[in-house]
Structure 1
């Protein structure tokens, strides 16, 4: 059995994400509403986050601390996605 968790596998509930990112549940839900993070849902419809999602939240937090607004963060993330496709 491979001991590493795949980075894209959703396996962390919001409570763990709050602890790992120092974000509130409201902030996490807001960033999801804004389309910045797209968590999976389990059978009970609870949000489940991956390591990639947690890293995304940390990046959002850094941008916010630097004074970048949500529209700016969306533009940065869109540019990164475009770069991945090119």
Structure 2
């Protein structure tokens, strides 16, 4: 069972969220929290829905209007969706890089910086001799 599995009936969801079942029905009508419906049209809430109900309750207690809460939830859901998409793209990029080894080669520059190199090339080896003499001024 994951956080998106719709398993809680309205009475249990209301108890978990610390609300009255009628409040959950109202929030469903307003589109603040939209539970999944069964074949018999009864509501089923997931743990994600319960968390959203608690967030609605918290924001309402802070004086945020229902329209403001709706906007906040919409933005939070969008951010969550985009974060999931970023994770997918990062995973795809990592897999692509693993399938093509040797395409990204780096070397250290003279100042300690990172220098990109083409695969199969070598850095030019420096052969100068450096003499160090400690300073005699004390």
The normalised TM-score by structure 2 is 0.56
Q: Which residue pairs with 1:85 in the alignment?
A: 82
Q: Deviation string for 1:23-68 (max 9, x for gaps)? A: 1111101111111111111122110000000000000000011111
Quote the residue 1:57 is aligned against. Answer: 53
1:36 aligns with 2:32: yes
Pairwise CA distance, 1:82:
3.3
Residue number in structure 2 paired with 1:74: 70
* Structure 1 segments of 4+ aligned residues over 4 angstroms from their partners: none
Name whichever of 7-16 and 74-83 sits farther off. Answer: 74-83
Pick the structure with more strand per residue: 2
Q: Which runs of 5+ in 2 are unaligned?
A: 84-138
Larger-Rg structure: 2
Q: 1:27 aligns with which of 23, 27, 30?
A: 23
Size of the aligned set, in residue pairs, is 82
Greater helix share, 1 or 2?
Answer: 1
